[in-house]
Amino acid sequence: MYEVKGKTAIVTGGGTGIGKAVTLMLAERGANVVVNYSRSESDALATLAEVKKLGADGMVCQANVAKDADARRMFQETMAKFGRVDIVVNNAGTTDHVAMEDLEGLKEEYWDNVWDTNVKGHFFVIRACAEELKKNKGCVVNVCSISGITGRGSSMAYCASKAAAISVTKSFAHVLAPDVRVNAVLPGVVMTRWVGDKPEFARKLSAGTPLGRPAEAGDIGDAVLGLITGGTFVTGQALIVDGGYTIINGNNIR
């Protein structure tokens, strides 16, 4: 068992959805939590208030993980506040919704947008924290997506970015071994604000799966926490957390 009490975790995109669920789970167990945000300051501050109610310590940090300088500044601010970094959860992500068949609609800037955040962002944050994570025998969990293995999702660029993020996970598992464990979780449909105005569509997608429902943020948080606290002999792995969707639908995700 990996004990998180007294350790410091950075959770990117930690103020909403999956990131918020992970943040509060870590706080419940006594970790200091850095709630990162890019634009959603009010959400990050509200989440920090919940962290404090749980008796844990924390801070908010505005940083665009797609920018190397921001990732390095976030690390430095975390060190100034807590003096250590033990856990990184790369949850920040983005997409532009473009139908898979709409090849002309997938603009170059959409590729740049998802690649910068979903791939380079993971790399920048881990690189900034790497030596400290090694010193503390820490761990990393990257929140990816089943789109990275099915090739279906909100856009072709998004799918490619998530496949690349899985590859980055495996590469870091090699590079930071044996001191740091690096894993990924691959959610399917999750009932967060990403679903937007299509909750019924999300439920329909999951209706025929073994568990019969879409995930809630806490379901993914449970998997992230499990890899942190219970996965002491697990590294370089991509854990699918989709209620069995992929074993029923294979590559037909839409």
- Of 2, 37, 110, 158, the catalytic one is 158
Q: How far is CA 222 from the centre of its chain?
A: 13
* Identity of residue 184: A
Give the DSSP H/E element, type plus range, for residue 250.
none
**CA distance from start to end of the chain:** 38
158 catalytic? Reply is yes
Q: Which of 188, 147, 11 is closest to 91 using CA atoms? A: 11
Per the CB < 8 A criterion, the answer to whether 47 and 21 are in contact is no
Q: Output the DSSP codes for 215-248.
A: BPHHHHHHHHHHHHHT-TT--S-EEEESTTHHHH
Q: Which of 60, 5, 13, 3 is closest to 220 using CA atoms? A: 13
Q: What is the token pair recorded at 122?
A: 């993971």
Q: What is the token pair recorded at 199?
A: 């909750």
How would you classify the pairing of strands 32-37 and 58-62? parallel
Find all residues with CB under 8 Å of 36, minimum gap 6, and list them.
10, 11, 12, 13, 14, 15, 19, 44, 60, 61, 62, 63, 65, 74, 92
CA–CA dist 132, 129 (Å, integer): 6
Residues designated catalytic: 158
